[in-house]
Amino acid sequence: MTRRNLITLAVVAVLTALCLAAVLVQQFQVPVLGHKGANTTLGMSLGLDLSGGTHLVYQADLTQLQSGQDPTEAMQGAINVITRRVDAYGISEAVVQKQGSDRISVQLPGVRDVDAAVKLIGSTAQLEFKEQQLDGSGSPAVDANGKPLWVPATAVDSTGKTVPLTGQYLKPNAQVVIDQTTNEPRVAIQFNDEGAKLFEQITGRLIGKPLGIFLDTQMISAPTVKARIAGGNAVIENIKLSDARNLVVLLNAGALPVPLGEPIVREDIDPTLGADSIRKSLVAAVIGLALVIVFMVLYYRVPGVLASCALLIYGILMLGVFKLVPVTLTLAGIAGFILSIGMAVDANVLIFERMKEELRAGKTLAGAIEVGFVRAWPAIRDSNITTFISCVILYVIGSMLAEPRMMGFALTLGIGVALSMFSAITITRGFLRLFVGTNLETKLRLFGVDKPAQAPVNKEQK
């Protein structure tokens, strides 16, 4: 028994050391997510409510899909496009996820110009080339307001079909160039082989006429074609530098396969507030833990000390698991963590109360430990299992709703419940068994029992 106990404790020690190493070592290696210059918080990955940033949710309009297009593929395509856009825009660590069947959640940590990012993510970015519609006499047609009417510029592709020239024929290597003579920005674009042939036909047909370049039905520019252009290289002129940069991002990331429009949810979380609340919450957590330990030691004496050790080990294991899984830490997750500490303490308290009852009834320490654990077990098991059931339900509903707070809470609490049972059952019991056979065994006052008295009311049930 003693040998097995020592092995158990050795395994616990190794696990704890591993988790402690994971927590501490990476502190020096992993840069904190999102905002630089703030607290690193042990290199944990932090949720938006702690790191600051913007949370956007877009609703895809799946009714706008072309017939035969698979909605799941279109959504995945949209996610890929958005990921490329935010990457190209320079937002590192953005998280783009599908929510439900038709929503996309975008988390942008520490982004600077949110409005620009919102526009960039939500624009469909369909680039179109158009020519002016001609009326019966061959001169450009105009609408009621005197504005020229534009129709898609088409050409014949390699399969013999007449198709419009759009951004889908572009190579993803558009770039901003500054004109050497005028110092004006331009966007250099390059068509793929098919696009180059289309472009050559169209420019050949439109010599002396304007070729309209449209992004999402907005005209960017309409240069007059000077000559037939072969080889597929073109430039877009008459564009502001900031617009040129965004256009390049959009063109290289490709068009969204499904329109998104305005975000249905937009929340800016002040990064400084977040960083501040982590620092304060950490201080508060340490104070809280210290209070718990003082209370446990004063009230339960030796077992209180052991439970405090078990609690510290539990805390280290939790942080280790958080980091290794990794679990993104959010305020809601911290709440789950606190509750799980409460439950870990509770499991210990339950066991100690039972042990006390047994010691008062005149049992030996060894007997009291074993019977105390056996008696406390059903209550610990049932309360942890009900909590665990709730966690699973909340996690599932949280992921359906794509509510990261609920998921974070359920995940941390679920892990916490599992670890707290391990902590109470294995670690505390292992520690307690160490005392069996030592001379401490006879000093019952150290276990919070003044003297063995008559057994309480329920003695007849033993």
Q: Alpha carbon 85 to chain centroid distance?
A: 18
Q: Could you identify the residue written with the tokens 């449209």?
A: 214
Residue 325 DSSP symbol: T
Closer CB to another protein, 116 or 229, in the complex: 116
Looking at residue 31, its amino acid is P
| Residue 453: strand, helix, or coil | coil
Separation in Å, CA 116 to CA 34, 177, 249? 18, 21, 12
Closest CB to another protein among residues 151, 400: 400
Give the C-alpha separation, 149 to 424, whole Å: 77
Task: Take residue 109 and report the two structure tokens written for it.
Answer: 């940590």
How near is the Cβ of 63 to another protein at its closest, in Å?
Answer: 15
CA distance 415 to 405: 15
With contact defined as beta carbons under 8 Å apart, do 310 and 427 qualify?
yes
Nearest approach in angstroms of CB 397 to another protein is: 4
Q: Which of 315, 251, 301 is nearest to 88 (CA)?
A: 251
Choose between 233 and 386: whose C-beta lies nearer to another protein. 386
Identify which of residues 285 and 440 has a Cβ nearer to another protein in the complex: 285
CA 67 to chain centre: 33
**CA proximity to 86, closest of 61, 56, 62:** 56
- At 177, give phi and psi (nearest 5°): -125, 150
- Our CB check for another protein shows the closer of 203 and 348 to be 348
In single-letter form, the type of residue at position 158 comes to S
Q: From the CB of residue 381, how many other CB atoms can be counted at a distance below 10 Å?
A: 13
Q: How far is the CB of 291 from another protein (least distance, A)?
A: 4
Which of residues 342 and 362 has its CB atom nearest to another protein in the complex? 342
25 vs 287, beta carbon nearer another protein: 287
Element (H, E) at 290: helix 271-300
Report the nearest approach of another protein to the CB of residue 294 (Å): 9
Q: How far apart are CA 422 and CA 311, in angstroms?
A: 11
**Least CB distance from residue 145 to another protein, whole Å?**
22
Beta carbon of residue 278, minimum distance to another protein (angstroms, whole number): 9
What's the min distance (Å) between Cβ of 407 and another protein? 11
Q: How far is the CB of 6 from another protein (least distance, A)?
A: 30
> Whose Cβ is closer to another protein: residue 4's or residue 279's?
279
- Per the document, the length of the chain is 462
The full DSSP string for 42-79 is GGPPBPHHHH-EEEEEEE--GGGSPTT--HHHHHHHHH
